[in-house]
Amino acid sequence: MSFQTPRLVFIYFKKHIVNTTLFQKGQGMQFPFLAIFLGIGIFLAIRYKSLNKKQDEVTQSFWEREATANAAPTANLDNIKYITIPLDKFPLGFSKDPAICSLENSLRDLSKKRLLNLTGKTNTELKEAYGVANLTTMQSIGEDFDLLTITLKDYGAALIEQGLLADAISVLEFGVAIGTDISQNYNMLGDCYLALGKTDKISYLIEQVESRNLMLAPSILRHLRGLLSEDSTDGPVKTPENFEINKN
C-alpha cells in the first residue's frame, strides 16, 4: 500500500489498531510495533502540518513584500554614483592579439555604460530600491557589471601571460575594489603580489576577502594564505593605491 502523505499514514494505522485486539487475557501487548508505527504516523502528521503552515507564512510574506515593492516610488537614476572604469590606468593597445584587443574593446564599451554592483540583489529588492518602472534598466546595469568583472579577470590573465604583472595588478585591484565575486581575480592578484615581493598587500587582500560575503571565500583565503612567506613583514599594512575606491 502506498501513502502519499503522513496524514494517510496516521489514518491507516488508526483504523487498523482500532480493529485489532492488542491485548489478550493474562498477556502483554502482542503487537508493539503497531504502537511504534502509530507514534511515527502521528509525529509525521504533526510535522507535515507544521511545515505546511511555515510555507504558507513564507509565501504570504513574499507576496506582501512584492506588493510593497511594486508600489515603491520610482528613483531618479541620474542621481546615482556609478562605477567609473579607469581606462587611463590600463595598458590599452599594448598588443595586437585579436583576443586581447576584443577584451580592451569590451572595456571601452563598458566604460560608456552605467555600472553598479547589484550582485545578489533579487528583483523584489531592485523594485524596492529603484521602483518597478526601473526594474528592466537595473537588471541591464547589473548584467553589464557582471560582464565587467569577467572582462577584468580575463584581461588581467592576458597581462600576466605577457609578463606585465604591474599592469595586471592595476586591472585586478580595480576588480577587487568594485566588489567582484570571481575567485580567480583574487587568486591572480595574490600571485602577482607574491611575484613582485609585495606580501604586505597579500595581507590586505586577505582582509578584503574576510570582510565580504563571497561564496568561494574559503577557497580564496586558502590560496592567499598559502602565498604568504614565513618572513613576511609584520609592520602596518598599507592600502594599495587602486583600493582607494573602497572608501567611497
> Could you report the per-residue pLDDT of 152-201, keeping only the tens digit for each?
999 999 999 999 999 999 999 999 999 999 999 999 999 999 999 999 99
Average pLDDT taken over every residue of the chain: 82
Instruction: Please tell me the least confidently modeled range out of 38-42, 181-185, 235-239.
Output: 235-239
Rounded to whole angstroms, the Cα distance separating 44 from 50 reads 10
- Residue 193 is placed in which grid cell? 603580489
Considering the domain architecture, whether residues 222 and 241 belong to the same structural domain is answered as yes
- Cα→Cα distances 231→80, 98, 192, 207, 222, Å: 45, 42, 18, 19, 18
Structural domain contains residue 54:
yes
Considering the domain architecture, whether residues 87 and 182 belong to the same structural domain is answered as yes
Is-above-0.85 flag for pTM? Answer: no
- Confidence band of 64 (pLDDT split at 50, 70, 90): confident
Considering the domain architecture, whether residues 204 and 112 belong to the same structural domain is answered as yes
Considering the domain architecture, whether residues 104 and 123 belong to the same structural domain is answered as yes
Considering the domain architecture, whether residues 28 and 113 belong to the same structural domain is answered as no
Considering the domain architecture, whether residues 39 and 108 belong to the same structural domain is answered as no
Considering the domain architecture, whether residues 100 and 156 belong to the same structural domain is answered as yes
| Residue length of the chain | 248
**Any idea what the Cα angle at residue 232 is, between residues 231 and 236, rounded to 5°?**
140
Question: What are the two backbone dihedrals, phi and then psi, of residue 28, each rounded to the nearest 5 degrees?
Answer: -85, -165
Amino acid at 43: F
* Residue 175 · residue 110 · CB < 8 Å: no
Amino acid at 82: Y
